[in-house]
Amino acid sequence: MPKRCYGLEGGVALVTGSSQGIGRDIALQLAAEGVAVAVNGRRPEMVDQVVTQVRALGARALAVPATVSDQGQVHAMVGAVLSEFGQLDYLVNCAGISRPNRFIDMTEQAWDEQINTNLKGAFLCGQAAARHMLTRGKGAIVNLCSIAAFAGQEGRAAYVSSKTGLLGLTKVMAQELSGHGIRVNAVSPGLTGTEMIASNIPAAFRDGVALERTPIGRLAHPSEVAEVVLFLLSEGASFVTGESILVDGGLLSGYFYARSAAGNSFTQPQPRERAMQDLGNSTLPPGGG
């Protein structure tokens, strides 16, 4: 796990949903930066595995298995972090679930489960963490949103609604907390190589979007999302709050883009071809003069 020197060393972070997927990579990258990490998830055995990995990187770690949609469990979790480490500097709300189904067929239970975990959970954890951060006059919170909040996704009515709501919650939290030294931002990943994507999205859709519609032409690596999260937690983002950074390989920029049609929408030469033409027309001597 490479260290980027974000200046976070000595801080304490709670990362919800960090027993797998993007959350796990965020926890491990924080550990590599010298941050003490509280690892959360619903399955204690998976939480313990990540705690072991965090400690192997030389960082302090605490297992805090809990259901983030339960206020009592959230308060106990934050209390355990404060009891163990004495402070809480960073919160990353990464806990999330997806139960795909057509809107017309979705059950109320499936709707409630996704809204409660993805949106209510971030509200409860953010509120509990912010109350402590307010006493210290500093802190940073990052909510893991999704490109689904910007474009919608067939078969994911509850998931999209929860992430759209989370984007709005991020903005309100930022407005209310930033004047007290607590910045709040969101990261909105595109298709990322996680367990959720592997189990919920058919390969034909995954490849059609990632390879055909995404200019970079692949899924994101969880570590690439983690790097953006750490930047937003760091002082390098000291004047960034209430924002959502897309980590989507250019997907949402590409309304007119399809890999199979690249270079055919207009008659201008492709960038590499243009560079070669310019080089050929250069009057500079070999070696650049």
- Residue 151 maps to which CATH number? 3.40.50.720
- Does residue 55 sit within a domain? yes
- Does residue 6 sit within a domain? no
- Does residue 279 sit within a domain? no
pLDDT for position 218? 83
Q: Where are the beta strands (DSSP E) in the chain?
A: 12-15, 36-39, 61-63, 90-93, 139-144, 182-189, 244-247
Enzyme catalytic residues: 159
Higher pLDDT pick, 262 / 91? 91
pLDDT for position 276? 67
- Does residue 280 sit within a domain? no
Span 153-181, mean pLDDT? 96
Span 28-55, mean pLDDT? 97
- Does residue 3 sit within a domain? no
What global pTM score does this model have?
A: 0.88
Higher pLDDT pick, 206 / 115? 115
pLDDT for position 289? 46
Q: Where are the beta strands (DSSP E) in 98-137?
A: none
Which one-letter amino acid corresponds to residue 252?
L
Rounded Cα distance between 265 and 280, Å, is 25
| pLDDT over threshold 60, residue 236 | yes
Span 189-202, mean pLDDT? 72
Lowest mean pLDDT among 19-23, 82-86, 219-223, 233-237: 219-223
- Does residue 46 sit within a domain? yes
- Cβ atoms of 62 and 77 within 8 Å: the answer is no
- Does residue 96 sit within a domain? yes
Number of domains present in the structure of the chain: 1
Span 244-266, mean pLDDT? 79
Q: Which structural domain range is residue 19 located in? A: 12-260
